[in-house]
Amino acid sequence: MKEAALLKQTVKALMQGQLRAAQDPHRPAWHLAPSVGLLNDPNGFIQFDGDFHLFYQWNPLACAHGAKFWGHWRSADLVHWQHEPIALVPSEEYESHGCYSGSAVDNDGVLTLIYTGNVKFAEGRTAWQCLATLEEDGSCRKLGPVLALPEGYSGHVRDPKVWRHDDGQWYMVLGAQNLAGEGKVLLLRSGDLHSWQLLGEIAGSQLNGLGDFGYMWECPDLFRLGNHDILITCPQGLAPQPKRWLNTFQSGYFIGELDYQHARFPHGEFHELDLGFEFYAPQTTASSDGRRLLFGWMGIPDGDEFYQPTLAYGWIHQMTCPRELTLEQGSLRQRPARELQQLRRSPLTLQGAAQQLEPLDISSAELLIQPEGVLTLHFADALRLSWDGKELQLSRRNPRSGVEEHRYWHGSLARLHIFCDRSSIEIFINDGEAVMSSRYFPTVTPQLRLEGETNVRLHYWRLEAGMIV
């Protein structure tokens, strides 16, 4: 009965809000965004039976972090997507305050979801790790909880990421907080996805030489890339440092080697995945052609998100573009998925002194820029990227305070690969050596204006719409 009532409310929200949301000039042309309401974490990203499936945290009833549903998109090519039936509705007692984040696996031909059922009560909260299966008609059948709250941890245990290892067993990494308020990543094992054994803590505060490193580690994702294991996670509670860790919460990775037998993960230092203003909760999957692909949420929890102007149109947040991951020279590189080239139209090549080049329409565009010296890029006079020969600085006015804020990258700059989509920018530096992802909200049709006397070679494409609504 509760599920039927929630679905009726969702249909009403869609019928009343979809047209208004579609009229927002800041609504993306080809990035994935919610029809109405609030979107956050990508969930259940998988290629299954030839198609890509991307589930997502969604509150269709308000632009607020309430009891989350799972929405569902499907695509054959990572570019053109279609809506599928709502996957999960928080209708059961074990998920009364939200179907929180999780992952998807191919369980012998059955697409199976593993997610966190969030429950809050007067004295605190608890969490259940739950299963559901995707049916032929696109609906999901809930199988209920398979893992209760582990002993020794607070109610903040969530975001299971599951994979099948070479030994035929299922493994799970799970974000957690212990009773001392320290963030951890747990490793668990199962033979059937139903009965799970806790093997131990493989990363977190006070482990692997880290010392104090945050009070909660969200959205862990562990996978093999090249000859190493990569742990992606989102530690909450890291203090800002000069020119790094400047967002409310961080998202980054460790390179190491997972010892499956002894549940140990000796690893190197923490590296931020994205140096822009909005990036969090990424999730990866393996494609059938052997690539490791990633989507991230272009948002930050508990930041300044509710000062974004899209709220006036009844929606908020979007995903990043899909990215390909490689491990090169001891660091993770991110490149825009090659499938995005399908969106290219109207190619243009320009060369000359930066300040003499004509402004370019960047409502929906892709750019490759090779500067030879000091350069500043002005995006609709709402976002600025400056290169002084040693440091890239991305600048904008904070949407809440109006005070100018900055993000940074240091290195030797050879190339910028930039994707623009009405109210978002993704800047890939030096063929994926670093990325800066940000939202911005122009008050006029966005144009790119270049400033500087340096010579610049620039390739430009207009990008067509990619979402099927």
Render each residue's pLDDT in the chain as its tens digit; 469 residues: 899 999 999 999 999 999 999 999 999 999 999 999 999 999 999 999 999 999 999 999 999 999 999 999 999 999 999 999 999 999 999 999 999 999 999 999 999 999 999 999 998 999 999 999 999 999 999 999 999 999 999 999 999 999 999 999 999 999 999 999 999 999 999 999 999 999 999 999 999 999 999 999 999 999 999 999 999 999 999 999 999 999 999 999 999 999 999 999 999 999 999 999 999 999 999 999 999 999 999 999 988 999 999 999 999 999 999 999 999 999 999 999 999 999 999 999 999 999 999 999 999 999 999 999 999 999 999 999 999 999 999 999 999 999 999 999 999 999 999 999 999 999 999 999 999 999 999 999 999 999 999 999 999 999 999 877 5
Instruction: Write out the two tokens for 382.
Output: 């709402």
**What count of other Cβ atoms lies within 10 Å of the Cβ of residue 73?**
18
pLDDT at 1: 83
The rounded distance, in Å, linking the Cα atoms of 428 and 332 is 13
- Whole-structure pTM value: 0.98
The bridge status of strand 315-316 relative to strand 37-48 is parallel
Residue-level pLDDT at 469: 59
Question: In angstroms, rounded to a whole number, what is the distance separating the alpha carbons of residues 255 and 266?
Answer: 9
Q: How far apart are the first and last CA of the chain?
A: 29
Q: Do the two domains 2-336 and 347-463 of this chain adopt the same fold?
A: no
Cα 381 from Cα 427, distance rounded (Å): 17
At the topology level, CATH places domain 347-463 in Jelly Rolls (2.60.120)
Nearest to 298 by CA among 277, 324, 315: 277
What residues contact 55, with CB distance under 8 A and at least 6 apart? Answer: 42, 43, 44, 45, 70, 71, 72, 73, 87, 88, 104, 113
Question: For the chain, which residues make up each domain, given as ranges?
Answer: 2-336, 347-463
58 vs 65: CA distance, rounded Å? 9
Of 90, 119, 78, the C-alpha closest to 7 is 90
Cα separation values, 456 from 216, 349, 451, Å:
44, 11, 11
Write out the catalytic residue numbers: 41
Q: How many CA atoms lie within 13 A of 272 on its CB side?
A: 25
Answer whether CATH 1.50.10.20 is correct for domain 2-336: no
User: What is Dmax (Cα atoms) for the chain?
Assistant: 67
The whole-number pLDDT of residue 466 equals 83
